[in-house]
Amino acid sequence: MEKVTIYPSIMCCKPWEMKDYIKEFENNGIDGIHFDVMDGHYVPNIMLGKDDFDAIRSITDIPIDVHFMCVEPENFFPWFNWKENDRVSFHPEVCKQPYRFLMNIREHGLKAGYAMSPGIPLGYLEEALPVLDFVIFMGVNPGFAGQKFIPNGFEKIARIREILDKADHKIEIVVDGNTTVENARKMLEYGADGLVTGTSSMLKNGPEYFAECYRNYMASIV
């Protein structure tokens, strides 16, 4: 199996622990920091904004994996001070021109991805294969941490993998939602490449225990 990419969800950290967690992310070679932007419209929650992004950017060079859970995400994109190799995903069904937006993200030197909520047709993926770098598969209904994995989640990962394998380049599948050790094993078995991790996996005991949680998690899922 290729290396599993890990994206800890910074919204699951207490604000006063973020700096310490980010130091641990650097020490342990984390692939990117998952950063959820919620507008209170696409999901019934409001979360992380430009000031939070700038604060994180000021203390680390780790790529930031921004997930726009927003209506018309293209309008939020210019607010952020992007750095090459940052990652941007959004929900295509609430974007006016999703293909164009993927191209715009890539033109900024960033990785471009779709985020697929439960129940959203996978046909969106088939139409955008040439300009997709990754897909965030939502294994829970977006908006809140700590939910249960959806009933048909594993089968849907397999369907996404089948579609993405038609592309002429590698497109990563990252699963976001209830990525416990038990679930993560099956997610990888069904075709996932990466995992967004939070309170169900390695951000539950405080930054001083992150390295231990990370090692145990990785040893248990591969």
Question: Quick one: pLDDT at residue 145?
Answer: 61
Question: Where residue 125 falls among pLDDT bands split at 50, 70, 90?
Answer: very high
Cα-trace Rg, the chain: 16
33-39 vs 46-47, strand pairing mode: antiparallel
Query: Strands across the sheet with 87-90, in order?
Result: 5-8, 194-197, 172-176, 134-138, 111-116, 87-90, 64-69, 33-39, 46-47
For residues 114 and 92, the answer to whether their CB atoms sit within 8 Å is yes
For residues 88 and 103, the answer to whether their CB atoms sit within 8 Å is no
* Region of poorest pLDDT, from 44-53, 73-82, 92-101: 44-53
pLDDT at 150 over 90: no
pLDDT at 82 over 90: yes
Count of structural domains within the chain: 1
Q: What is the pLDDT of residues 4-63, one digit of tens each?
A: 999 999 999 888 999 999 999 999 999 999 999 999 998 888 988 999 999 999 999 999
- Percent of the chain having pLDDT more than 90? 81
| Structural domain boundaries, residue 69 | 5-221
Question: Quick one: pLDDT at residue 148?
Answer: 78
Q: What is the pLDDT of residues 190-218, one digit of tens each?
A: 999 999 998 877 888 889 999 999 999 99
Asked if 54 is an active-site residue, the reply is: no
DSSP, residue by residue, 48-106: --HHHHHHHHTT--S-EEEEEESSSGGGTGGGS---TT-EEEE-GGG-SSHHHHHHHHH
Predicted model pTM? 0.94
Question: Quick one: pLDDT at residue 199?
Answer: 80
Which CATH number goes with the domain that contains 60? 3.20.20.70
Question: Quick one: pLDDT at residue 140?
Answer: 87
Question: Where residue 115 falls among pLDDT bands split at 50, 70, 90?
Answer: very high
Catalytic residue among 39, 86, 133, 176: 176
Question: Quick one: pLDDT at residue 1?
Answer: 57
Catalytic residue among 36, 39, 86, 193: 36
Query: Which amino acid belongs to residue 51?
Result: D
Question: Quick one: pLDDT at residue 144?
Answer: 60
Q: What is the pLDDT of residues 161-177, one digit of tens each?
A: 999 999 999 999 999 98
Asked if 176 is an active-site residue, the reply is: yes
- Percent of the chain having pLDDT more than 70? 97
Mean pLDDT of the chain: 93
